[in-house]
């Protein structure tokens, strides 16, 4: 890849001369789709990113949100939220590609002055029964496990989906939450001419050259061999040292501004910092500590060697920064200083870059691309036997237990994990302010493949429902928008659909979308991926307890929010059921009062009469019921008379939950005028799920369900 001719003309016009080779490569990378969001930025204004809780919205390394306090605190407590994709690297080299994705998002957290406290991973692969999918899946999980465990940040949640259209292009979307007291906040906005720029961390080598532009084109057939040099190799030990060194630097107040070195390396980080401050810099590239001999200016400027941070430091604090770096065995070099002129890089006294930082960062023209609507699905429903369908859906890798995955992640380090992976949402104890922080992350490829816009709305509502099922009220979200080649109108139309859908539902739920990441060109010889809007949403509650998803042998089971069951008209489009047994249908409608539903569910979940709660979504009611049964507690439920059993059990309309309660009247009262409540049955003591559906009956023991749900473990152990 090289700088496009039209871009080059703009650069020549701005500079009044031909760019140097280093400048040309810098523009190529910083004006790439990956860095400049040229095809997506025109759409992103759809998102509402403000709110009184929002301290820093989109545009910095991570967003910053103020937490509500449920205890008296000395100062305000903030969290950071960030999300990043590492899709192409994870295809070429699943272990290192995924590992370095974790490293990048953690450093985005550090550069805001925060300490990382939780990670989530949303992973998307081709069909599970394909050997290549399994190879990528195992490698990615191992890479995340290796890196995340070693740096001591718990991986508390996420999602795993399999869909044939990820065959040639898997997705790895990692999000990180960090914690800080208000007075520790640092931003990427350079503050003052004369301050020094200090590079701390690993030495710079030739690894990861051109990663940003590699992420901005389709994956070629030979990508696994051809593009390996563009994938960086992670060193979690160095990252852990960087986390602790950063903690000391922040605690001692030594940092004026900070940015992680990610895409486009030192050139990207340093130019963006000074551009944000309306300033310039003079960087002497030969001062960068290097790992390899004879590196040229362009390599030093653009290498994406991992585990490096760029700090703006007051000259009088430079020595102390150096001491702290040395204590943690980290390299440290003073590479230059902030100026009020251009962004200038010299190498052994020769000027290799001399451009306006703002032009470099913001000058890329936006693409005005065509969109085309996707086809409306036909209605073509299969004839299936209920028992066969139940087994097929409950034993699908998409709805199956992900224990094989999260058992490999340290999800408890930090001793804050009150509810870990495997439930609707994780709950993290923020003892600093008595706040339970619930986290849910994921998307639903089946939904957005059928209906990008409505499917994305459903994704947003489903994540909010996950939080509410654990008693938390949504606070904020970050998104990772993954799409195919935007130059194809139908692909770009689908991408626009997921943007608009997420934006619309988040606005209805009053959840500001405070940051995100866009990954386009997820296209390969096997075609584009389904448009995939991974959302990581957090919510809060008083205290850290939450009702479990598993039932106790007591009380009544209620289904709340199932408008389709109420009307008897089901839409099965996007369901796991149709994915398994074949056929197509319209995508389900969305509830009228999603915000009131979420708020009411959160309140009901925390009521003392509530014994268990579980979101109903992927796989429909059938899967949610199956997941609630244990060896010691079962469920005996009946579907309302006359309804179509397959529709009732397998439709994936969102904004629904199962509530097991000792006070069904109280729950019905709470949802009065908000959402329908249907009494499905009773909990039993025999560990069996029994569903009466008209003339038919479905029955399965906890052991049988456990067997169906363990298909991932069974295939990989």
Partner 1 sequence: MGTVTVSIVRFGGSNCDRDAEAALSHLGIDAEIVWHEDGLPAETTGVVLPGGFSYGDYLRAGAMAARSPILDEVREAAADGVPVLGVCNGAQVGCESGLTEGVFTTNRSARFQCEPVYLRVERADTPWTAAYEEGEVIEVPIAHGEGRYEITDERLEELESSGRVLFRYCDADGEVSEAANPNGSKHNVAGVLGEYETVAVLMPHPERATLPDVGGTDGQGILRGFAD
Pair 577, 620: CB distance under 8 Å: yes
CB-CB neighbours of 401 under 10 Å: 18
By CB under 8 A, tell whether 142 contacts partner 1: yes
By CB under 8 A, tell whether 328 contacts partner 1: yes
Assigned token pair, 651 = 């439709």
Residues facing 660 on adjacent strands? 557, 612
Q: Binding residue for partner 1 (CB under 8 A) from 56, 102, 151, 250?
A: 151
Binding segment for partner 1 (CB under 8 A), chosen from 30-38, 170-178, 220-228, 326-334, is: 326-334
550: helix, coil or strand?
Answer: coil
By CB under 8 A, tell whether 470 contacts partner 1: no
Assigned token pair, 418 = 């009150």
The residues assigned a catalytic role are 34, 86
CB-CB neighbours of 512 under 10 Å: 25
By CB under 8 A, tell whether 562 contacts partner 1: no
Give me the least distance between CB of 609 and partner 1, in Å please: 22
Q: Binding residue for partner 1 (CB under 8 A) from 191, 408, 630, 662?
A: 408
Q: Binding residue for partner 1 (CB under 8 A) from 6, 72, 415, 695?
A: 415
Q: Please provide the DSSP assignment of 677-693 as one string.
A: EEEEEEEESSSEEEEEE
Binding segment for partner 1 (CB under 8 A), chosen from 414-422, 475-483, 627-635, 680-688, is: 414-422
**Residue with Cβ nearer partner 1 (289 or 407):** 407
Give me the least distance between CB of 142 and partner 1, in Å please: 8
> What's the CA gap between 557 and 566, in Å, rounded?
16
Binding segment for partner 1 (CB under 8 A), chosen from 49-57, 281-289, 405-413, 439-447, is: 405-413
Give me the least distance between CB of 150 and partner 1, in Å please: 4
**Residue with Cβ nearer partner 1 (298 or 546):** 546
Q: Is the dihedral of CA 297, 299, 302, 304 positive or negative?
A: negative
With CB under 8 A, what is the number of residues at the site for partner 1? 34
By CB under 8 A, tell whether 103 contacts partner 1: no
Residues facing 683 on adjacent strands? 635
Q: Binding residue for partner 1 (CB under 8 A) from 80, 290, 399, 417?
A: 417
> What's the CA gap between 148 and 156, in Å, rounded?
11
Map the footprint of partner 1 across residues 521-550, applying CB under 8 A. Answer: 543-544
By CB under 8 A, tell whether 416 contacts partner 1: yes
**Residue with Cβ nearer partner 1 (227 or 423):** 423
| Binding pattern for the stretch 226-265 against partner 1, x by CB under 8 A and - elsewhere | ---------xxx--xx--x---------------------
Assigned token pair, 205 = 């080598």
Q: Binding residue for partner 1 (CB under 8 A) from 10, 150, 185, 233?
A: 150
The three-state (H, E, C) secondary structure of 310-348, written as one string: EEEECHHHHHHHHHHHHHCCCEEEEEEEEECCCEEEEEC
By CB under 8 A, tell whether 413 contacts partner 1: yes
**Residue with Cβ nearer partner 1 (423 or 599):** 423
Assigned token pair, 570 = 């089901």
Pair 708, 399: CB distance under 8 Å: no
**Own/partner pairs for 287-294, CB < 8 Å, 24+ apart?**
287/333, 287/334, 287/335, 287/336, 288/199, 288/204, 288/333, 288/335, 289/199, 289/203, 289/204, 289/331, 289/332, 289/333, 290/203, 290/204, 290/205, 291/202, 291/203, 291/204, 291/205, 292/205, 292/206
Straight-line distance from the first to the last Cα atom of the chain, in angstroms, rounded to the nearest whole number: 42
Q: Binding residue for partner 1 (CB under 8 A) from 414, 484, 512, 531?
A: 414
**Residue with Cβ nearer partner 1 (236 or 634):** 236
Give me the least distance between CB of 403 and partner 1, in Å please: 8
By CB under 8 A, tell whether 117 contacts partner 1: no
By CB under 8 A, tell whether 322 contacts partner 1: no
Q: Which residues bind partner 1 (CB under 8 A)?
A: 142, 145-146, 149-152, 235-237, 240-241, 244, 327-329, 406-418, 429, 431, 543-544, 717
């Amino acid at each position: 890849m090289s700088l496009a001719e039209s871009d080059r003309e703009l650069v020549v016009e701005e500079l009044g001369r031909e760019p140097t080779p280093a400048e040309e490569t810098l523009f190529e990378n910083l004006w790439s789709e990956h860095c400049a969001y040229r095809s997506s930025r025109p759409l992103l204004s759809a998102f509402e990113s403000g709110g009184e809780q929002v301290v820093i919205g989109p545009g910095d390394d991570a967003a910053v949100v103020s937490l509500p306090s449920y205890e008296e605190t000395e100062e305000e407590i903030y969290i950071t939220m960030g999300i990043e994709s590492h899709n192409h690297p994870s295809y070429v080299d699943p272990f290192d590609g995924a590992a370095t994705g974790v490293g990048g998002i953690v450093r985005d957290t550090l550069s805001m002055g925060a300490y990382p406290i939780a990670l989530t991973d949303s992973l998307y692969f081709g069909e599970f029964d394909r050997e290549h999918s399994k190879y990528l899946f195992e490698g990615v999980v191992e890479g995340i496990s290796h890196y995340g465990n070693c740096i001591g940040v718990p991986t508390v949640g996420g999602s795993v989906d399999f869909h044939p259209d990820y065959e040639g292009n898997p997705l790895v979307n990692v999000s990180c939450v960090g914690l800080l007291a208000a007075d520790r906040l640092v931003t990427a906005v350079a503050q003052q001419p004369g301050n020094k720029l200090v590079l701390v961390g690993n030495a710079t080598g030739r690894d990861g050259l051109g990663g940003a532009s590699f992420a901005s084109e389709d994956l070629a057939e030979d990508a696994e061999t051809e593009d390996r040099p563009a994938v960086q190799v992670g060193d979690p030990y160095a990252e852990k040292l960087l986390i602790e060194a950063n903690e000391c630097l922040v605690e001692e107040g030594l940092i004026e501004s900070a940015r992680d070195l990610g895409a486009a390396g030192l050139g990207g980080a340093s130019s963006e910092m000074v551009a944000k401050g309306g300033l310039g810099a003079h960087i002497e590239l030969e001062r960068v500590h290097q790992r390899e001999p004879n590196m040229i200016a362009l390599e030093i400027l653009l290498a994406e060697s991992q585990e490096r941070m760029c700090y703006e430091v007051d000259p009088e604090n430079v020595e102390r920064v150096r001491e702290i770096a040395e204590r943690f065995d980290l390299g440290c070099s003073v590479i230059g200083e902030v100026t009020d002129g251009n962004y200038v890089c010299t190498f052994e006294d020769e000027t290799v870059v001399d451009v306006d930082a703002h032009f470099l960062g913001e000058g890329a023209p936006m693409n005005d691309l065509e969109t085309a609507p996707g086809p409306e699905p036909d209605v073509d429903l299969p004839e299936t036997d209920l028992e066969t369908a139940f087994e097929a859906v409950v034993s699908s890798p998409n709805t199956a237990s992900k224990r094989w995955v999260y058992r490999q992640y340290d999800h408890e380090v930090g001793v804050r994990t009150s509810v870990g992976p495997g439930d609707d949402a994780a709950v993290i104890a923020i003892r600093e302010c008595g706040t339970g922080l619930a986290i849910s992350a994921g998307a639903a490829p089946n939904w957005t493949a059928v209906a990008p816009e409505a499917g994305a709305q459903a994704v947003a509502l489903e994540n909010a429902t996950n939080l509410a099922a654990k008693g938390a009220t949504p606070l904020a979200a970050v998104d990772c928008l993954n799409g195919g080649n935007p130059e194809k109108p139908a692909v770009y139309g689908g991408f626009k659909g997921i943007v608009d859908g997420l934006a619309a539902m988040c606005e209805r739920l009053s959840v500001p979308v405070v940051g995100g990441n866009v990954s386009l060109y997820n296209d390969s010889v096997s075609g584009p991926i389904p448009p995939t809007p991974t959302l990581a949403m957090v919510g809060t509650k008083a205290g850290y307890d939450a009702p479990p998803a598993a039932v106790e042998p007591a009380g009544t089971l209620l289904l709340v929010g199932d408008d389709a069951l109420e009307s008897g008209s089901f839409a099965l489009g996007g369901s796991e059921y149709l994915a398994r047994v074949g056929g197509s249908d319209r995508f389900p409608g969305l509830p009228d009062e999603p915000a009131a539903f979420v708020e009411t569910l959160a309140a009901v979940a925390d009521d003392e009469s509530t014994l268990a709660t579980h979101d109903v979504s992927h796989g429909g009611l059938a899967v949610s019921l199956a997941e609630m049964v244990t060896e010691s507690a079962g469920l005996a439920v009946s579907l309302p008379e006359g309804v179509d059993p397959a529709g009732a059990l397998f439709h994936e309309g969102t904004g629904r939950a199962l509530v097991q309660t000792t006070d069904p009247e109280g729950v019905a009262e709470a949802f009065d005028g908000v959402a329908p409540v249907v009494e499905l049955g009773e909990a039993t003591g025999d560990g069996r799920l029994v569903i009466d559906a008209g003339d038919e009956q479905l029955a399965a023991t906890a052991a049988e369900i456990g067997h169906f749900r363990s298909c991932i473990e069974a295939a990989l152990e």
